[in-house]
Amino acid sequence: RLPRIFGMNMMSKIVFYEERNFQGRSYECMSDCPDMSSYMNRCHSCRVERGCFMVYDRTNFMGNQYFMRRGEYADYMSMMGMSDCIRSCRMIPMHRGSFRMRIYERENFQGQMHELMEDCDNVMDRYGMGNIMSCNVMEGQWLMYEQPQFRGRMMYMRPGEYRSFMSMGSNSMRFMSMRRIMDSCY
């Protein structure tokens, strides 16, 4: 069964600006962009006109990630404690329907397993899991956070199998909470 996804590329739009308060050179993006460095030297503000996006401080959707919903971010770089080096962004398709993800305490879907269909604000309290090393996202778009109560660094998870978070470059992160992306951004 295919997930029902609405608001694909035609609906999403984010505009990046080199300076604070939407000044300076700008770059308009309506889909995934694995390398923004050829369009802009730096980025201090942005405006999400439609949709939701993840922005990354490294090319090819790597590094620190930040979730951006519709709105204006006149000086969002300093708000997030991020340097001025947004290097890539990913459009998040709107998902309407059920959400389902399995989390595992070890790599390659080994060890203790739990299936989630709703947000989990504290994996340790709810399931007694001190760490999550792999997951299988079966339905929906999710954000996983390194601290309980949806705080700290985050990672965007779309449907697919994630056999090893360590091999994804998140070896220093422990995921302690997860939330469904249910924002009505359009």
What residues are paired with 106 via a beta bridge?
110
Count of domains for the chain: 2
- 11 and 86 inside one domain: yes
Count of positions (residues) in the chain:
186
CB distance 155 to 166 below 8 Å: no
Confidence of residue 2 (pLDDT cuts 50, 70, 90): very low
Q: What is the percent of the chain where pLDDT is above 90?
A: 62
Measured CA to CA, the distance from residue 171 to residue 165 in angstroms comes to 6
- Residue 122 within any structural domain of the chain: yes
Using CA atoms, how far apart are residues 60 and 40, in angstroms rounded to an integer? 16
**Residue 50 belongs to some domain of the structure:** yes
Looking at the structure, do residues 71 and 123 belong to the same domain, yes or no? no
pLDDT at 34 (0 to 100):
95
Same domain flag for 72 and 117: no
pLDDT, one tens digit per residue, over 69-95 is: 999 988 866 556 565 578 899 999 988
Decide which of 39, 72, 94 is a domain's last residue: 94
* Within a domain: 2: no
Query: Which pLDDT band holds residue 148 (cuts at 50, 70, 90)?
Result: very high
Q: Which of 43, 67, 94 is the last residue of a domain?
A: 94
d(CA 184, CA 92): 11
Q: Tell whether 139 is covered by a domain.
A: yes
Q: How much is the average pLDDT of 103-124?
A: 96
Place of tokens 């360590």: 166
- Out of 73, 94, 115, a domain closes at 94
pLDDT tens digits along 115-140? 999 999 999 999 999 889 999 999 99
Q: Is residue 74 part of a domain?
A: yes
* Statement to judge: residues 135 and 170 lie in one domain: yes
Are 61 and 34 in contact, with CB atoms under 8 Å apart?
Answer: yes
Q: What CATH number is attached to the domain comprising 159?
A: 2.60.20.10
If asked whether residues 69 and 132 sit together in one domain, one would say no
Q: Is residue 186 part of a domain?
A: no
Determine the structural domain holding residue 25 and report its residue range.
7-94
